[in-house]
Structure 1
Amino acid sequence: MDQESEEGERRIAEARRRMEAAGLDALLLVSSANAAYLSGYPSPERTLGRALYVLLPLRGAPSVLAQAWRLEEARRYCWMPDVRGYQRLSAVPFEELDRLWEVNRLGAATVGVESGREQRLGLPLQDFEALRAHFGGTRFVDCGDLLWSLRLLKSAAEVARIRAACRITGEAYAATFATATVGQPGRQIVDRMKTEMIRCGGSDPWVLSSFGPGSYELPTEVPPQPPVRRGDILWMDAGCTVGGYWSDFSRAAVVGPPSPEQLQAHAAVHAVTAAAVSLIRPGRPVSEIAAACREGLAGLDLEVTAPLSDLAGRVGHGLGLDVTELPHVAEFDSTLLEAGMVITVEPAVATRYGAFHVEENVLVTEDGFEVLSTAPWELATVPG
């Protein structure tokens, strides 16, 4: 058995253990990161008319139901051997689902679906209502907490993919800042960052940016248009995927020599971040990490023009198959850290001379933590 199949069997076995404890006879997952997690399908189906269904019964063979266009791809990549197809677009494949319901005896069963906290059904509401009416004897209930309990704890294979995505993102930052020039349009710098992540082996690159006065208070995914000028902070928060798993961290450069104010603010915010990261260990509530960030930022002698962490509503989040996952690193979240979790830590402020946010991606280990985003945190310098 190869490593992918072993990983799949481990996930399915753990899911079934938790299903039995929760009184669930099956899970029905549709076109989601959850479906990818349990089936091995490398990418969720983004075309709404081609829903990908994953049915995991408590006992019996799990099944994948893919629209004909995706069928051979699903058979190649899914670790579930029972991969079936359907033809019609933009319609629930009732005939095929009827067969699965019959063989798994789900007519009067309790089936978990993705309807709860930070979940999506993966179907238009009218289609889900039609499905629920069609299987009138089946009780559909939320299984979101069960799914999060599985996905919060990353295996060694999952961590390896996140680590690789972080390495690629760091290499892309270095290459992008090394080739940026004064007077270059901001859009070109953002596009170069995306291109470098792909060149280095990443997929699905994204970049959030703020370049120069007037943008520090508004980080955005809309690439900046004006040419960058001497003294501008070029801040980017970026990520990519490796095998479906995300990186998500920020780094920054300054055009020309940085001012003393910029150096001091960047170092101060990084120190707050590093102090919060140092608290990470199993058993610690994420709320304590968030409180440390709030208290650290409050103690800085900076003329803040935008409290970016407050505006975001948190100072970090989980990371995995989704670029933002539970838990929220926030004082309202009581989640206890466990070994295997991967979280971000990202206290941030804006001033008139820069946005300061040195996000880190961190693995919770048995005895503490490991920073996965190992790219240098210091301000890079763009000649200007």
Structure 2
Amino acid sequence: MTAMRKPPQRGFCPSEFALRLQKMQSILQAEQLDAVFVTSPSNIRYFTGFDSQFWESPTRPWFVVVPREGSIIAVIPEIGAPEMARTWVDDIRTWPSPCPEDDGVSLMAATLSAVPRRFGRIGAEMGREMALRMPVADFLALRGRMPETEIVDGTPALWRARMIKTEAEVAHIRFICEVASDAYIGLPDLVAIGDTERTVVKRLRADMCARGADNVPFMPAISGPGGVPQIVCGPQDRVLTHGDVLFIDTGATYDGYFCDFDRVYAVGAIDDAARRANEAIWEATELGIRAARPGVTMESVWKVMAQALQDAGSIGNNVGRLGHGLGMQLTEPPSFRAGDETIIQPGMVLTIEPGMEYAPGKMIVHEEDIVIMDDGAHLLTIRAPKEMPVIS
């Protein structure tokens, strides 16, 4: 029988959202922005608590304005007003969408123009790991209607707000990490040699949902003799064969928050080269977890893991980094990579993700999710065993 963990309460209380607004407004003041407006599902949900399966439809744009002072303003299609009214947001302005002739542009221009002005600058989601979810032509039209205001990249301000998680956010991420960990541990009992990659994913995804995950939108699975050539595509109809390494990565969600970590399995048995590589990557993961402490840079932790992989005989790593931030998106800033000088702080949720190619076309990757606390990194996932679990 599937063991069930007790999930944290869904949603967040108004005081949580008030703290987010207060933090964002402090950042807007420091960044000399009169407001920031957001259009993407994760940012709208972060500030309002509003969620909808209607995000799957690209027809209608949605806007939320966070001013430097005052209350949050939702500027949304009429169809979303009843649900938005159930959130903590009081100021809800609507238009009859879809209306390609003017799909919220004039209403947004009027709303932004009425925001108290001090700096003459308003931020938008124009930077890395953000997406402006409105037609580019409409964005240009909006900017043209506001010649007295400069619309600039608000991404740095938004990530400053979202990068440090609250205790309630961490509780959500911890729960989905534990759910996925439990399912990974139980996977060898659900599959066998002769199953296909696609069958493995179907069973693992169903088990995660049965254990409490809301959704599993990300689950690449790849297998190959002694290792895998890549970690981003799949599953396919390839049959698991004795001697394979099976790699599975998982981005499951609970109440809007992701886990993101992988596991590798030995199919029957693996050769000595794969076994040694797996052990080396496990040790590099351990070093990364220990090195991730408040006050150090992301680059410094990357160097620790990169050196361990080099010493172990790595001949390459096409991933480009060795971990990243995690939260309402599968991947968030910052990154464990050369040149990322972001200072690690308590409240950050990060992935530790060393991997290496140890022979041409054969790579293994390990990944764990951690939260940074005053005394260092604490695991959110259940740590992978040092030896690969076996599928027989």
SS in 2 for 1:226: coil
Mapped pair 1:298 → 2:305: no
Assess if the C-alpha contact under 8 Å between 1:166 and 1:372 holds in 2.
yes
Assess if the C-alpha contact under 8 Å between 1:108 and 1:137 holds in 2.
no
In the alignment, which residue of structure 1 is the partner of 2:48?
39
- 1:249 pairs, out of 244, 248, 261, with 261
Q: For residue 370 of structure 1, what is the amino acid of its counterpart?
A: H
Counterparts of 1:60 and 1:376, CA distance in 2: 47
Assess if the C-alpha contact under 8 Å between 1:211 and 1:232 holds in 2.
yes
Label 1:86 to 1:108 Cα distance change in 2 as closer, same or farther (>3 A). Answer: farther
Counterparts of 1:73 and 1:221, CA distance in 2: 36
In the alignment, which residue of structure 2 is the partner of 1:57?
67
- 2:170 pairs, out of 153, 159, 164, with 159
Listed one character per residue, the Cα deviations across residues 13-59 of structure 1 (whole Å, up to 9, x for unaligned) are 11111112222211111124222221222369343222110011222
In the alignment, which residue of structure 1 is the partner of 2:249?
237
Counterparts of 2:182 and 2:29, CA distance in 1: 44
In the alignment, which residue of structure 2 is the partner of 1:315?
322
Label 1:107 to 1:43 Cα distance change in 2 as closer, same or farther (>3 A). Answer: farther
In the alignment, which residue of structure 2 is the partner of 1:69?
79
- 1:358 pairs, out of 340, 359, 366, with 366
- 1:329 pairs, out of 336, 340, 344, with 336
In the alignment, which residue of structure 2 is the partner of 1:192?
203
Assess if the C-alpha contact under 8 Å between 2:226 and 2:244 holds in 1.
no
In the alignment, which residue of structure 2 is the partner of 1:137?
148
Q: How does 1:213-224 map to 2 (within 5 A)?
A: 213=225, 216-224=228-236
Q: For residue 83 of structure 2, what is the amino acid of its counterpart?
A: E
Label 1:260 to 1:131 Cα distance change in 2 as closer, same or farther (>3 A). Answer: same
In the alignment, which residue of structure 2 is the partner of 1:168?
179
Counterparts of 1:94 and 1:143, CA distance in 2: 19
Q: How does 1:92-111 map to 2 (within 5 A)?
A: 92-101=103-112, 103-104=114-115, 109-111=120-122
SS in 1 for 2:111: helix
Listed one character per residue, the Cα deviations across residues 128-170 of structure 1 (whole Å, up to 9, x for unaligned) are 0011112232221221111111111111011111111101111
SS in 2 for 1:275: helix
SS in 2 for 1:278: helix
Q: For residue 46 of structure 2, what is the amino acid of its counterpart?
A: Y
Shift of 1:258: 4.1
Counterparts of 1:252 and 1:288, CA distance in 2: 27
Shift of 1:175: 3.0
Assess if the C-alpha contact under 8 Å between 2:226 and 2:243 holds in 1.
no
SS in 1 for 2:225: coil
In the alignment, which residue of structure 1 is the partner of 2:299?
287
Assess if the C-alpha contact under 8 Å between 1:241 and 1:247 holds in 2.
yes
Q: For residue 67 of structure 2, what is the amino acid of its counterpart?
A: P
* Alignment TM-score, normalising by the size of structure 1: 0.90
Counterparts of 2:227 and 2:97, CA distance in 1: 47
Assess if the C-alpha contact under 8 Å between 2:226 and 2:274 holds in 1.
no
Counterparts of 1:360 and 1:35, CA distance in 2: 28
SS in 1 for 2:133: coil
SS in 2 for 1:112: strand
Moved more, 188-197 or 245-254: 188-197
Q: For residue 97 of structure 2, what is the amino acid of its counterpart?
A: R
In the alignment, which residue of structure 2 is the partner of 1:266?
278
Counterparts of 1:141 and 1:41, CA distance in 2: 25
Shift of 1:200: 1.7
Q: For residue 166 of structure 1, what is the amino acid of its counterpart?
A: C
Mapped pair 1:371 → 2:376: no
Counterparts of 1:311 and 1:30, CA distance in 2: 32
Shift of 1:375: 4.5
Q: Which runs of 5+ in 2 are unaligned?
A: 1-10
Aligned Cα RMSD in Å?
Answer: 2.4
Shift of 1:173: 1.3
Work out the percentage of aligned pairs sharing the same amino acid.
27
Counterparts of 1:32 and 1:127, CA distance in 2: 18
In the alignment, which residue of structure 2 is the partner of 1:381?
390
Counterparts of 2:119 and 2:389, CA distance in 1: 62
Moved more, 54-63 or 151-160: 54-63
Shift of 1:197: 2.0
Q: For residue 151 of structure 2, what is the amino acid of its counterpart?
A: F
How many residues are paired up?
376
SS in 1 for 2:169: helix
In the alignment, which residue of structure 1 is the partner of 2:95?
86
Label 1:172 to 1:85 Cα distance change in 2 as closer, same or farther (>3 A). Answer: farther
SS in 1 for 2:30: helix
Assess if the C-alpha contact under 8 Å between 2:34 and 2:115 holds in 1.
no
* Alignment TM-score, normalising by the size of structure 2: 0.89
Shift of 1:266: 1.5
Counterparts of 1:233 and 1:3, CA distance in 2: 41
